[in-house]
Amino acid sequence: QVQLVESGGGLVQPGGSLRLSCVVSGLTLDDYAIGWFRQAPGKEREGVSCISSSYDSTYYEDSVKGRFTISRDNTKATVYLQMNMLKPEDTAAYYCAAVFDLDRPLLWQYGSACHHQDYTYWGQGTQVAVSS
Protein backbone atom coordinates (compact mmCIF):
# COMPACT_ATOMS: atom_id res chain seq x y z
CA GLN A 1 0.00 0.00 0.00
CA VAL A 2 1.14 3.51 -0.79
CA GLN A 3 1.40 5.66 2.29
CA LEU A 4 2.35 9.28 2.78
CA VAL A 5 2.66 10.47 6.36
CA GLU A 6 3.13 14.13 7.20
CA SER A 7 4.53 15.49 10.41
CA GLY A 8 5.96 18.70 11.79
CA GLY A 9 2.95 20.96 11.93
CA GLY A 10 2.10 23.07 14.92
CA LEU A 11 1.40 26.51 16.28
CA VAL A 12 4.01 29.22 15.80
CA GLN A 13 4.20 32.97 16.06
CA PRO A 14 4.54 35.15 12.98
CA GLY A 15 8.12 35.14 11.81
CA GLY A 16 8.73 31.67 13.17
CA SER A 17 9.77 28.51 11.37
CA LEU A 18 8.56 24.96 10.94
CA ARG A 19 9.86 22.00 8.99
CA LEU A 20 7.31 19.60 7.60
CA SER A 21 8.25 16.04 6.72
CA CYS A 22 6.54 13.59 4.40
CA VAL A 23 7.60 9.97 4.64
CA VAL A 24 6.60 7.93 1.60
CA SER A 25 6.31 4.17 1.35
CA GLY A 26 4.89 1.71 -1.15
CA LEU A 27 6.32 3.33 -4.27
CA THR A 28 9.65 4.12 -5.85
CA LEU A 29 10.20 7.68 -4.82
CA ASP A 30 12.75 8.20 -7.59
CA ASP A 31 9.91 8.02 -10.11
CA TYR A 32 7.48 10.35 -8.36
CA ALA A 33 7.07 14.04 -7.88
CA ILE A 34 6.08 15.12 -4.40
CA GLY A 35 4.06 18.21 -3.69
CA TRP A 36 3.03 20.17 -0.65
CA PHE A 37 -0.46 21.59 -0.81
CA ARG A 38 -2.46 23.58 1.65
CA GLN A 39 -6.08 24.37 2.24
CA ALA A 40 -7.48 26.96 4.57
CA PRO A 41 -11.14 26.91 5.62
CA GLY A 42 -13.35 28.24 2.85
CA LYS A 43 -10.50 28.43 0.36
CA GLU A 44 -9.39 26.30 -2.56
CA ARG A 45 -6.54 23.87 -2.19
CA GLU A 46 -3.38 25.33 -3.62
CA GLY A 47 0.03 24.05 -4.52
CA VAL A 48 2.62 25.44 -2.14
CA SER A 49 5.72 23.73 -3.44
CA CYS A 50 6.52 20.68 -5.54
CA ILE A 51 9.70 18.81 -6.37
CA SER A 52 10.33 16.68 -9.43
CA SER A 53 11.41 13.08 -9.65
CA SER A 54 14.49 13.32 -11.84
CA TYR A 55 14.39 16.68 -13.60
CA ASP A 56 16.08 18.69 -10.86
CA SER A 57 13.11 21.03 -10.82
CA THR A 58 11.05 22.69 -8.14
CA TYR A 59 8.01 24.89 -7.99
CA TYR A 60 7.07 27.50 -5.42
CA GLU A 61 3.85 29.42 -5.16
CA ASP A 62 4.59 33.11 -5.43
CA SER A 63 3.59 33.95 -1.88
CA VAL A 64 6.13 31.53 -0.40
CA LYS A 65 9.11 32.19 -2.65
CA GLY A 66 12.12 33.14 -0.60
CA ARG A 67 10.53 31.81 2.59
CA PHE A 68 9.94 28.09 1.94
CA THR A 69 12.35 25.46 0.67
CA ILE A 70 11.42 22.00 -0.55
CA SER A 71 13.91 19.15 -0.58
CA ARG A 72 13.94 15.40 -0.86
CA ASP A 73 16.03 12.55 0.44
CA ASN A 74 15.28 9.50 -1.65
CA THR A 75 17.42 7.32 0.58
CA LYS A 76 15.13 8.13 3.49
CA ALA A 77 12.07 8.28 1.24
CA THR A 78 11.28 11.63 2.77
CA VAL A 79 10.41 15.06 1.42
CA TYR A 80 10.74 18.17 3.52
CA LEU A 81 9.25 21.62 3.47
CA GLN A 82 11.25 24.15 5.43
CA MET A 83 9.02 27.11 6.22
CA ASN A 84 10.62 30.30 7.45
CA MET A 85 9.24 33.75 8.16
CA LEU A 86 5.79 32.34 8.63
CA LYS A 87 2.81 34.64 8.28
CA PRO A 88 -0.75 34.35 9.57
CA GLU A 89 -1.93 33.74 6.01
CA ASP A 90 0.15 30.55 5.95
CA THR A 91 -2.31 29.01 8.40
CA ALA A 92 -3.83 25.94 6.77
CA ALA A 93 -3.91 22.19 6.67
CA TYR A 94 -0.84 21.06 4.76
CA TYR A 95 -0.86 17.88 2.72
CA CYS A 96 1.85 16.04 0.87
CA ALA A 97 0.99 14.18 -2.30
CA ALA A 98 2.69 12.13 -5.00
CA VAL A 99 2.28 11.57 -8.72
CA PHE A 100 4.17 9.41 -11.18
CA ASP A 101 6.44 11.92 -12.81
CA LEU A 102 8.60 10.33 -15.49
CA ASP A 103 6.13 11.33 -18.20
CA ARG A 104 5.75 14.94 -17.05
CA PRO A 105 8.93 16.77 -18.07
CA LEU A 106 7.06 19.44 -20.00
CA LEU A 107 4.90 20.34 -17.04
CA TRP A 108 7.97 21.34 -15.12
CA GLN A 109 9.22 23.32 -18.08
CA TYR A 110 5.89 25.12 -18.30
CA GLY A 111 5.61 25.69 -14.58
CA SER A 112 2.47 23.55 -14.45
CA ALA A 113 3.64 20.61 -12.34
CA CYS A 114 2.09 21.57 -9.01
CA HIS A 115 -1.67 21.38 -9.57
CA HIS A 116 -3.42 19.39 -6.87
CA GLN A 117 -5.79 17.80 -9.38
CA ASP A 118 -2.88 15.91 -10.95
CA TYR A 119 -1.62 14.26 -7.77
CA THR A 120 -2.90 10.78 -7.05
CA TYR A 121 -1.60 9.72 -3.64
CA TRP A 122 -2.27 11.86 -0.59
CA GLY A 123 -1.34 11.99 3.03
CA GLN A 124 -3.70 12.82 5.86
CA GLY A 125 -2.41 16.31 6.44
CA THR A 126 -0.82 18.26 9.24
CA GLN A 127 -2.10 21.50 10.69
CA VAL A 128 -0.03 24.66 10.60
CA ALA A 129 -1.26 27.63 12.60
CA VAL A 130 0.49 30.99 12.70
CA SER A 131 -0.85 33.23 15.40
CA SER A 132 -1.70 36.80 14.65
Q: Residue 132 — pLDDT band, cuts 50, 70, 90?
A: confident
Give the distance from CA 114 to its chain's centroid.
9
Look at the chain and count its residues. 132
Rg, C-alpha atoms of the chain: 14
Does the pLDDT of residue 85 top 90, yes or no?
A: yes
| pLDDT (0 to 100) of residue 27 | 92
CA–CA separation, 66 vs 64, rounded Å?
6
Cβ-proximal residues to 19 (8 Å cutoff; 6+ apart), any chain: 8, 80, 81, 82, 83
Phi-psi region of 81 (alpha: psi -120 to 50; beta: other; left: phi over 0): beta
pLDDT value, residue 56 = 87
How would residue 3 be classed by pLDDT, with cut points 50, 70 and 90? very high
